[in-house]
Amino acid sequence: MTPVLAICLFIALFILELVYFKLADHFNIIDKPNERSSHSSITLRGGGIIFPVASVLFFLCFSFQYPWFLSGLVAIALISFLDDLHTLNNKIRLGVHMLAVGLLFYQWDLFNLPWYGILIAAILVIGTINAYNFMDGINGITGLYSLITILSFYYINENVVVFTSSDFLILIGLSLLVFNFFNFRKKAKCFAGDVGSVSIAFILIFLLGQLILKTENLTYILLLLVYGLDAVTTIIFRIIRKENIFEAHRSHFYQYLANERKWPHVWVSALYALVQLGVNTLLIALFTVAAGFSGSFLIAILSGIITGLVFIGLRIGIEGKERLFNPQSSFPRRREP
């Protein structure tokens, strides 16, 4: 992609985002704060629609690449946008998610695996999509974290191993820059909405899958380590408290920092992105030095266990055992004004 084309596409995405804001304002597509929210003012919802829009632009401008992935993305983005407008039946939403994942697997050429391998992969992908969606709760966290991940993918694609289209990575990166301009601020102009958080999760999983299949190296799952630690440890603590893990909540560590410790949203978002950037830098350096090392899966497992234990200890030290283990004191409800 030439610099001139990149600038033109960035301007086009910026304009399309502004057009969506006009439509969202006209049709009252807004996010009203409730007892689980980390914000206190009415804000436009669905600004993350720019991510699937950027993917469609890539498909149209760059030789119609990855058609099955794009079909799955459009399906999951559409059902998520409808869910943003009116809460849909979980069975309908799950059905479309499964269809989208099936199209993704076809793009990856995974259907030559045994049925149980496909089932495990589907559970992992759908679980990751939903975990990524749940992590979208404060200004800037989804946009900045995803931008760091896309930049890491771009560096790997350009300098370590070619596994996808750099033009696609650039376009998604441009869409994230546009979104962050309106979202990564003290008073956000818009929120990603389910259409944004689910879509960018689907995109990142597609790219991560391409990378793992190309290299046969599962250690690259550490490119999503920070989000994974928060999501998994939160589920563990909620199970200990005997809570319904499928209900909406404010139990994540980032939510504690923003809501209870009153850290500015942009600080928390920047912290998560910077820690993941540090992990990615170490990971890329490791594979640059030890290219072809056969023990990568063991490294991934050990790294996950060690960092998981450290993160759990960190949460217990900062949040306290009372909050994390006692179901009566975990998350006080916020009164509506």
Mean pLDDT of 225-242: 93
Task: Give the tens place of pLDDT for each residue, 91-120.
Answer: 999 999 999 999 999 999 999 989 999 999
Q: How distant, in Å, are the alpha carbons of 91, 96, 99, 190, 194 from that of 87?
A: 12, 14, 19, 19, 11
pTM: 0.92
d(C-alpha 169, C-alpha 175), whole Å: 10
Mean pLDDT of 54-77: 96
Which residues are CB-contacts of 329 (< 8 A; sequence separation ≥ 6)? 322, 323
Model pLDDT, residue 15: 97
Domain ranges for the chain, please list them.
3-325
Task: Give the tens place of pLDDT for each residue, 283-335.
Answer: 888 776 655 555 666 776 787 788 889 999 999 999 999 889 987 554 444 33
Q: Comparing 76-90, 159-173, 323-337, which segment has the lowest mean pLDDT?
A: 323-337
